C-alpha cells in the first residue's frame, strides 16, 4: 500500500503533462497551460519525494 500513492501521483503527473501539451497545441490561454504544467511539476515532485528514504517516522 505504501507504493500506491507515489505511483498514482506519477501517473497523474503524466496525464497533466499530456493535458498541458494538448492545451498548448489547441491554442488555449497561456494561463491554463502554465497552471496545468505547474500542477504536473508538483505531482511529479510529490511522487518522487515520497519515494525517497526517510527516517521511518
pLDDT digit string (tens) for 22-53?
Answer: 999 999 999 999 999 999 999 999 999 998 88
Sign of dihedral through CA atoms 9, 13, 14, 19? positive
Where do we find the cell 511522487? Answer: 47
pLDDT of 2: 73
- Tell me the whole-structure pTM to 2 decimals: 0.86
Three-point CA angle 9, 45, 3, nearest 5°: 40
Kindly indicate the confidence band of residue 1, based on its pLDDT and cuts at 50, 70 and 90.
low
Amino acid at each position: 500500500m505504501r507504493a500506491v500513492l507515489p505511483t498514482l501521483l506519477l501517473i497523474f503527473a503524466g496525464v497533466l503533462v499530456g493535458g498541458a501539451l494538448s492545451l498548448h497545441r489547441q491554442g488555449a490561454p497561456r494561463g491554463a497551460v502554465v497552471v496545468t504544467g505547474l500542477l504536473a511539476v508538483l505531482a511529479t515532485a510529490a511522487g518522487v519525494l515520497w519515494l525517497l528514504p526517510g527516517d521511518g517516522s
